[in-house]
Amino acid sequence: MGGPLMVDRERFVIHLPVAAGDLLGAVRLARVVARWASLLSSTDPGETTVSAEDDQGVRHRVFCDLLLPGGRRCLLRADHDGPCTRRLVR
């Protein structure tokens, strides 16, 4: 017999609506909220998306979705130019 049986734990996702007047404003606000929430170990800001209220099936990614070595995500915006990084350029 093999080792202990791995059982996937059930997970729940919190959807927190935050309204903005346009897509660019929504993306900017989502980046701020996601970076703030990254202080909590249970968040994955790299998966942050925004959508129109009446078309929530069409989502726009806020951050680059590339996983870097070590399993952490790139901190840059989606569709950024240049190489991915874990450090923000100011």
With 0.75 as the threshold, say if the pTM is over it: no
pLDDT tens for the chain, 90 residues: list them.
455 555 678 877 777 778 899 999 999 999 898 888 888 888 877 788 899 888 888 989 888 878 888 887 888 889 899 999 877 666
Would you give the distance in Å from CA 79 to the centre of its chain?
A: 14
Cα–Cα distance, 13 to 48 (Å, whole number): 12
